Structure 1
Amino acid sequence: MLPTQSKVVAFFNGTLLTMDPLVSASEVLLVRGDRIEAVGGRELLARNPDAVRVDLAGCWLCPGLIDAHNHLSIAALHPLWADLSSVRTEEELAHALREQARRDPEAPWIRAANWNEVETGLLPDRHMLDRIGLDRPVLIAHYTLHQGVVCSRGLDALGIGRTTPDPEGGMIARDFDGSPSGLLIERAWSDAHARSVAPYRNRERHDEWIAQRGRMLLREGITCVHDAACSPAAERAYARLARAGALPLSVLAMPHAEAILQGQDDQRWDGPVTGEGDEWFRVGPMKFFADGGIAPALDVCSGDLRMQMGIEFVDLERHVQKAVERGFHVAVHAIGNAGLERALNAFEAAQQAYPHAPARLRVEHACLASNAQLRRLAALGGIAVVQPGFLDHLGEAVVDVRFDNVTWLPFRAILDAGVPLAASSDDPCALRPPLLTSSRGTTRRTRSGKILDPAQAVAYEEWLRAYTIGAAYAGGQADERGSLTPGKRADLVVLHGSLDPEPPPLVVQTWVAGNLVWGHLLPTPEDNQYRVAIPGPP
């Protein structure tokens, strides 16, 4: 560690990725306290002889990485639940759920996470769960957080029976006799999610679970997240952590109801609006949904054949206009091209209704789009918050699925249309480490090694830009972070290796507000000078 926390630190002998064209040709970065004070040549070392010097040993120094779509407050709870990511049989499922019931006897719902039927072949229903014979409602949450399976006790607790209609924006799967099978899709599972999560929000250790997850992200160079479905309880937890000085990284909350996919709790409309807070915890855009995640809305053609499928959320336009009228920026989940069309229509209606409102408009995901839609998004001043890691799983699913005039994961087309690009993970629903997801976005390589539409590749350094200044712009944070610019917060990442997607570089240090929070420094023979510790080969 450095000899004092109240310090001036000079970084040198590396390459600075400033993400600021006005200070691109620089050799030395000077930090005073929690701010970047200067960026320039080696004369900064001579002018600041008392600065603690950090020899970068040839590494790259870049702004702290920002994950612009991360479900931190939900992901923090995942280690508390049964992990089904490798569970393939009914016997293994029974064992996992019984162990969960034993570990957490006070929980009113027994919850399991990371169910992925594509990877494991496991297809549970209420009958399978009932055979396990547990004494409480059971919920198996899909890895996408867009569907789940409950047992008969769970259906009873939710008030779902044979005559219960499908909710708007959701579907209750049914057996041949019309009774619910236990599978609840999109908004049909929202209440089950909220009920099974709520008790954990009220536990004394809730704040520490969030802090633990945040400290894990620091190892990957992430110094800020945009929590893309931040419930009122999670907002309160972040605020407590920030007041106590215990929040390990910055959080931009994207308000959303605990009943995920449902919009907003009534009382949240009158709460703090976008921009309120400070650099540690700030309110960001309100989060809404245009279509499903497991059932994205598509309207596509293949030759003479037109196909329309998926679930659209028809209340989107009303919610977007209300948010803009109340002073919020807006972020809308839109995976399919029909979902994107609904989002664009809602954005246009809001701008017509409130032409002077300063609302920043974000599309989250934009997984299938036409060039015409991307040009509309650019004309609206919108931003695309995408997940290059989706090449891993979604790319694998659609690599051989082609439609006319629309493109899967159209990253290059987004940039070519003039739409600002921000990068993110969608953790815990997808691949998370930014240096690895950037590799996927560059190579367009899927989980099995196939290549999806290489024309949509984006260069590795451009992904680093999307994870820094691009994400900062999407969050309305570009005045405080995202580039190595004097006056901005000293959130920094040191990278070792070439900026090559195969293999990608490694995070060897992370600095938050001018303090080293991950990695090590080695003393050198020179007074007041340290060298970045670079791990050797395993």
Structure 2
Amino acid sequence: MNAEINRRRFLGQAARVAAGAVAASMPAASPALAQGRGPADLIIYNGRVQIMDRHLRVAEAVAIRDGVVIGVGRERDIRRLAGRGTESINAQGGTVLPGINDSHLHLGGYGLDFPPFTVEVDVPTIQEVVDAVAAAVAAATTPGSWIRGQGWNENRLPHPPTKADLDPVSGDHPVILRDFSGHMMTANSNALRIAGITRDTPAPPGGVIEKDGDGEPNGVLREAAQDLINPHVPPYTEEETAGAIDAAIKLCHAQGITSVTDPGITLRQLALYGSKHDAGTLPLRITALITGGRHPDHVRELLDSYDPLRGADPRMLRVGGFKLIIDGVPTAAQTAWLHEPYLDGSNATPVLQGDTIEEQVANLHEMIRLVHDAGMQVGTHATGDAGIDAVVAGYLAAMRGNRRFRDPRHYVIHGDLTPPGTLRTMARHGIGVSMNATIKYVLGRTLDPHLGPERTDYQWPYRTALDLGVKVASASDAPVTSPSLLQGVQSAVLREGRFGGVAGEAERITVEEALVTYTRTGAWQDHAEHWKGTLEPGMAGDVCVVGGDVLGADPATLVELPITATVLAGRVVYDGKPDPAIAPAAVTRRNARGADRLNRGACCHQHA
């Protein structure tokens, strides 16, 4: 169902909403008439307007002027705010939500994740990986150019692709293929040679260089070992990166997204965002976290180099703080740091620099302190329960050591296996968490052989966290998964896996609660709940229109509902029509299928 975008005057012909349930929960007060300031620029009518305030009230229509909501309530009241130049959107009985706030989305990485920048190798067999690389080599026009791929999934393949698989088809091209999560890569012999990786190369702290039966590197590099190759990979040009960002923003608009937290960006990418903002070509609200590296000296250098944005509208582009990282992911890679080992008896360690775990944790705590003392927010990637506990301990130490920075809202990124006791501590001290229902859908029960059924069920404990009072935001971690609101809500409600099975009935939440994690709580994470995240008068005129009754539909069918319109600051940025120019046909097809796009995996995608 497509929204009908009417560019003429909002006359009087709109049909009234017939749903009695909507009228029963309507805001009792008349809409704000904003006397003396002129008519609305945009009115959205004939819908179930989910205001997403604390009372979860429902209305029939909403009016926006100068980028701000000026009225929400009964349609007959909102119609009084129309004038000769007012535009309108007929929601056609669909659901009208505040603009979606994806609290962890790698914007540049999302745009660069598709051809022609990256070869897609999310396939079920090694032979298909090899065929994709062979095709890229055949299409390459520059001898010895780098071939970059993305998406192989150790949970789908019989084994990670190795240099033995890639060398026969790669010719003189160096090849790197990142896995679905960004926490592993495979390199061919040419890439290993350029990076100087041999059988005698020591793995960096928190990294693994896999070896074959003869003791030679087999091409698989896990976690920090990827940093041995990354500096040798030619970076994308500024023009390529800018184009990828433009494409990613359009893809976000098609999912109803108006705000994102872009975690772990470089100062170079921040400068690019700043120039695009100044040029008026950044139509998305971005809260950026600067990547903090793996040692306190990295944070010190970045704080010294960081030049705050000047002249930027903080409601469109702001630096919230820093992103740090303590461990990997609890997938087949088994790089999440756990209190109790994996079923095979192994365990991971922190990925920070340091000769011992104690030194690594001390370095993390010092990094947190440095950022906190600078008056900036910290979001730390942590998936294993041991890693999460170390992160929360670091937050508490920083907050107790410097109370001048009140309400920092430091938060845990992912928080897969956060213990209940730690969740209580987080709730008590205002520490939030950004969880990933879409990744839960991708993984389903595939972690049983690694974590066991109990921990697999508990992974991403939405219900426990909300019941204990933790501020839980939801995120896609795109390009790890598609930034699909509806898939995320469906997954949080049902906990059903892509390949069947239910992982954690006890951690299911309601549709309303899931919507809050994508709207109001995302705004809280951004220190912005006073101006965005709900459709109350005075709030940002950011809107997502869904073609159907999100709260009344069978949750199993939510992903089938279309996004029919997206509005940013009162301006329609998506009208429900696909734009094939923003991505190759394969990208358009995957996003149109919704759930079928979600074939990646665990966490925190990284690009060279």
Fold match (TM-score > 0.5): yes
Q: Comparing 177-186 with 152-161, which one deviates more in the overlay?
A: 152-161
Change (3 A) 1:259 1:153: farther
Q: Is the aligned partner of 1:236 residue 2:271? A: yes
For each residue in 1:443-469, what CA deviation from the matched residue of structure 2 results, as whole angstroms up to 9, or x when unmatched? 010112201121100111211111011
Q: Distance in 2 between matches of 1:187 and 1:195?
A: 15
Distance change in 2, residues 1:96/1:181 (3 Å): closer
Distance 1:406 1:83 in 2: 30
1:165-221 per-position Cα deviation (integer Å, ceiling 9, x unaligned): 22112111122333322211101103434543x521x24232122101110111111
Among 194, 206, 209, the residue aligned to 2:244: 209
Secondary structure in 1 matching 2:156: helix
Name structure 1 gaps, 5 residues minimum.
522-534
Residue 155 (1) aligns with residue 192 (2): yes
User: One-letter code of the match for 2:563?
Assistant: V
Structure 2 partner of 1:437: 488
Query: C-alpha distance in 1, partners of 2:364/2:60?
Result: 48
Is the Cα contact below 8 Å between 1:83 and 1:96 reproduced in 2?
Answer: no
Give the conservation status (yes or no) of the 8 Å contact 2:203–2:209: yes
Q: Which residue of 1 aligns with 2:57?
A: 24
For the Cα contact (< 8 Å) 1:155–1:182, is it kept in 2? yes
Equivalent position SS for 1:368: coil
**2:150 paired with 1:113:** yes
1:427 to 478, 483, 502: 478
- TM-aligned CA deviation for residue 101 of structure 1: 6.5
Greater Cα shift, 207-216 or 167-176: 167-176
Q: How many residues align?
A: 517
Higher strand fraction (1 or 2): 1
Q: Is the 8 A contact 2:337 2:349 kept in 1?
A: yes
User: 1:294-344: per-residue Cα shift (whole Å, max 9, x none)?
Assistant: 411111289xx9966123132321211111122220001111111111111
Counterpart in the other structure of 2:214: 177
1:331 aligns with 2:364: no
Q: In the TM superposition, what are the counterparts of 1:334-345 in structure 2 within 5 Å?
A: 334-345=382-393
1:345-356 alignment runs, 5 A limit: 345-356=393-404
Query: What is the aligned partner in structure 1 of residue 326 from structure 2?
Result: 290
| Alignment match of 2:205 (pick from 168, 177, 182) | 168
Q: 1:299 is paired with a residue of what secondary structure?
A: coil
**Residues 194 and 258 of structure 1 are in contact (CA less than 8 Å); yes or no, is this contact kept in structure 2?**
no
Are the structure 2 counterparts of residues 27 and 7 from structure 1 closer, same or farther at C-alpha, using a change threshold of 3 Å?
Answer: closer
Aligned in 2, Cα 1:194/1:363: closer, same or farther, shift over 3 Å? Answer: farther
The alpha-carbon distance between structure 1 residues 371 and 345, as it changes in their structure 2 partners (threshold 3 A), is same
What amino acid does structure 1 have at the position aligned with 2:318?
R
Look up the match of 1:124. 161
Identity, % of aligned pairs? 25
Change (3 A) 1:205 1:430: closer
Q: 1:9-29: per-residue Cα shift (whole Å, max 9, x none)?
A: 222332211112378354331
- Counterpart residue number, 2:339: 299
Question: 1:417 Cα shift?
Answer: 1.2
What is the match of residue 312 of structure 1? 350
Once residues 210 and 399 of structure 1 are traced to their aligned partners in structure 2, the CA distance between those partners, rounded to angstroms, is: 37
2:79 to 45, 49, 55: 45
**Partners of 1:299 and 1:307 within 8 A in 2:** no
Q: Name the structure 2 match of 1:9.
A: 42
Relative to structure 1, the CA distance from residue 91 to residue 286 in structure 2 (aligned partners, 3 Å threshold; closer, same or farther) is closer
Secondary structure in 2 matching 1:369:
coil
2-structure distance, mates of 1:106, 1:34: 51
Alpha carbons of 1:58 and 1:128: their partners in 2 closer, same or farther (altered >3 Å)? closer
Structure 2 match to 1:456: 507
CA distance in 2, matches of 1:45, 1:68: 34
Query: How much does 1:252 deviate?
Result: 1.5
Offset of residue 273 of structure 1: 5.9
Q: 1:395 aligns with which of 419, 437, 444?
A: 444
Structure 1 position 108, deviation (Å): 4.6
Q: Secondary structure, in 3 states, of the residue corresponding to 2:92?
A: coil
Q: TM-score, normalised by structure 1?
A: 0.88
Deviation at 1:355, TM superposition (A): 2.3
* Distance change in 2, residues 1:399/1:393 (3 Å): farther
Whole-angstrom CA distance in 2 between matches of 1:47 and 1:125: 64
**Aligned mates of 2:309, 2:372 — CA distance in 1:** 10
Provide the C-alpha distance between the structure 2 equivalents of 1:124 and 1:23, rounded to a whole number of angstroms: 49
CA 1:46–1:371 in structure 2 vs 1: closer, same or farther (change >3 Å)? same
1:62 paired residue among 97, 116, 119: 97
Match of 1:411 in 2: 462
Distance 1:84 1:492 in 2: 35
Query: Cα–Cα, structure 1 residues 456 and 210, in superposed 2: closer, same or farther, change >3 Å?
Result: same
| Cα distance, 1:91 vs structure 2 | 6.9
C-alpha distance 473-191 of structure 1, shift in aligned 2 (>3 A): farther
Residue 503 of structure 1 corresponds to which residue in structure 2? 557
| Residues 406, 456 of structure 1: alpha-carbon distance in 2 compared, 3 angstrom cutoff | closer
Provide the secondary structure at the position in 1 that maps to 2:103. strand
CA RMSD of aligned residues (A): 3.1
> Cα distance, 1:60 vs. partner?
1.6
Alignment-mate amino acid for residue 232 of structure 1: L
Q: C-alpha separation between the residues in 1 aligned to 2:90 and 2:131?
A: 54
Q: 1:144 to 1:466 in 2, by over 3 A?
A: same
TM-fit CA distance, 1:258: 8.8
**What secondary structure is seen at the aligned counterpart in 2 of 1:476?**
coil
2:570 is the counterpart of 1:514: yes
Q: What is residue 528 of structure 1 aligned with on the other side?
A: none
SS of structure 1 residue aligned to 2:203: coil
Change (3 A) 1:283 1:3: farther
Aligned counterpart, 2:18: none
Q: CA deviation at 1:512?
A: 1.2
Residues 230 and 257 in structure 1, CA contact (< 8 A), matched pair in contact too: no
How far apart in 1 are the matches of 2:538 and 2:228? 45
Alignment TM-score, normalising by the size of structure 2: 0.78
Whole-angstrom CA distance in 2 between matches of 1:356 and 1:22: 33
Structure 1 counterpart of 2:224: 187
Counterparts in 2 of 1:48 and 1:498: CA distance versus 1, 3 Å: closer
Preserved CA contact (<8 Å) 1:392 1:447:
yes
How many Å separate the matches in 1 of 2:308 and 2:138?
40
CA distance in 1, matches of 2:385, 2:129: 38
Q: Is the 8 A contact 1:288 1:331 kept in 2?
A: yes
